[in-house]
Amino acid sequence: MKITFDVNGRRTEADDVWEGESLLYVLRERVGLPGSKNACEQGECGSCTIYLDGDPVCACLVAAGQVQGREVRTVEGLADGDTLDPVQQAFVDAGAVQCGFCTPGLLVQTHDLLERQAQPGDAEIREALSGNLCRCTGYEKIMDAVRLAAARKAEAASNRVPVRPERFTGS
């Protein structure tokens, strides 16, 4: 079957889609967006997290046919041209990326968290990221990155002195 949907603001068509195929497969193999990662295909790891009509969901659990006419935003759609989203920049600066396999899903999930709750407490961060597994970092640097992103977004909003990462990484 053929499906037409919006990805990162662009109308996109995928052809010869198998009826039982996941959105994750379509994104990675048919429309050239391999940012969303395929690790478990059963909703357990969160590395395929994307926005579907504004809600973060696991792309591996959405049937391709279900996105006909809908809006999808992937990790590739977070940056503004060459300028990384504050969440992405914070992950880089806080050293929250090791092998990087979990990173795309964590970025989308963190992006959503900070849209809904600009200054989350640690418990809220843990809860929001409870469906994203990372096997490398031990999560501490990821927590640092989320706090850093939140602080930078708050700074940007009040337009004061830029926040340096050292304050949040415990070094």
Partner 1 sequence: MEFLRPATWDEALAAKAEYPTAVPIAGGTDVMVELNFDRHRPVALIDLNRIPELHDWETGADGVVRLGASVPYARIIGHLSDRLPGLSLAARTVGSPQIRNRGSVGGNLGAASPAGDSHPALLASGCLVEAASADRGPRMIPIDEFFLGVKRNALEPDELILAVHIPSATGPQQFAKIGTRNAMVIAVCSFGMALHPEAGSVRTGIGSAAPTPRRAGAAEEFIAAELADTGMWASRGELAAATAKRFGELVAEAASPIDDVRGSAAYRRHALSVLARRTLTWTWDEYRAAGRAAA
Ligand X SMILES: Cc1cc2nc3c(=O)[nH]c(=O)nc-3n(C[C@H](O)[C@H](O)[C@H](O)COP(=O)(O)OP(=O)(O)OC[C@H]3O[C@@H](n4cnc5c(N)ncnc54)[C@H](O)[C@@H]3O)c2cc1C
Residue nearer to partner 1 on the CB measure, 55 or 80: 55
Q: Which does 79 bind (CB under 5 to 8 A by kind): partner 1, ligand FES, ligand X, none?
A: none
Residue nearer to ligand X on the CB measure, 66 or 89: 66
Q: What does the block give as tokens for 160?
A: 């004061």
Residue nearer to ligand X on the CB measure, 50 or 114: 50
Query: For residue 57, which of 112, 126, 11 has the smallest C-alpha distance?
Result: 112
Size of residue set near partner 1 by CB under 8 A? 28
Secondary structure class of 160 (helix, strand, coil): coil
Tell the burial category of 66 from Cβ atoms under 10 Å away from its Cβ (0-12, 13-18, 19+).
middle
Q: What does the block give as tokens for 76?
A: 């590739």
Answer whether 58's CB lies under 8 Å from 46's CB.
Answer: yes
Query: For residue 116, which of 76, 139, 96, 146 has the smallest C-alpha distance?
Result: 146
Strands of 33-142, DSSP E: 49-52, 55-58, 71-73
Per rule CB under 8 A, is residue 151 in the interface with partner 1?
no
Residue nearer to ligand X on the CB measure, 104 or 165: 104
Answer whether 12's CB lies under 8 Å from 31's CB.
Answer: yes
Show the binding pattern over residues 1-30: x = contacts partner 1 (CB under 8 A), - = does not. Answer: x----------------xxx-x--------
Show the binding pattern over residues 40-79: x = contacts ligand X (CB under 6 A), - = does not. Answer: --xxx-----------------------------------
| Contacts with partner 1, residue ranges (CB under 8 A) | 1, 18-20, 22, 41-44, 46, 49, 55-58, 60-63, 65-66, 68, 109, 127-128, 130-132
